[in-house]
Structure 1
């Protein structure tokens, strides 16, 4: 049984972090931050898009800005063939 997150990493999904600045409903000039993390697919970010659509539709705090950082956790350069093993006692 393979973990769903591990399988998705092989499909190109990587850890995505979004820092969301939003205005408070009662104090629109005051901004607050919210950090969101999920495995998502760059560059379209479908999971983040769904979350932001939910935010706009259901929450009162208007979005000010969203900063996104993405890292593919499994990269081809990380896999290397081992030509030999040296054991020291």
Structure 2
């Protein structure tokens, strides 16, 4: 049986990382960082959107910015033709 993460990758999900900067509730001029990572579907990012909605409603720290990186881990194989090989002693 394949893992749940592998099954998500077969459905088109990729590893998504969000670097979140937010303001501290007691000191709004100070920024704190949080890194979120999960499998999500680009370009809509429903899992990240759900997390950010949760953040806005349940967490006091106001969001400053969110940087997103996304990578599909399963894709077409990459190969190149080798015209020659050399034996090195």
TM-score category (smaller protein):
0.7 to 0.9
Counterpart residue number, 1:20: 20
How much is the aligned-residue C-alpha RMSD, in angstroms? 1.0
Distance 1:26 1:77 in 2: 50
Query: Could you tell me how far 1:4 is from its partner in structure 2?
Result: 1.1
Question: What is the count of residue pairs matched by the alignment?
Answer: 79
Are 1:60 and 2:64 counterparts? no
- Runs of 4+ in structure 1 deviating by more than 6 angstroms, as ranges, are none
Query: Could you tell me how far 1:29 is from its partner in structure 2?
Result: 0.6
Task: With the length of structure 1 as denominator, give the TM-score of the two structures.
Answer: 0.85
Distance 1:30 1:2 in 2: 44
Counterpart residue number, 1:43: 43
Give unmatched runs, 5+ long, in structure 2: 80-89
Task: With the length of structure 2 as denominator, give the TM-score of the two structures.
Answer: 0.85
Distance 1:37 1:16 in 2: 6
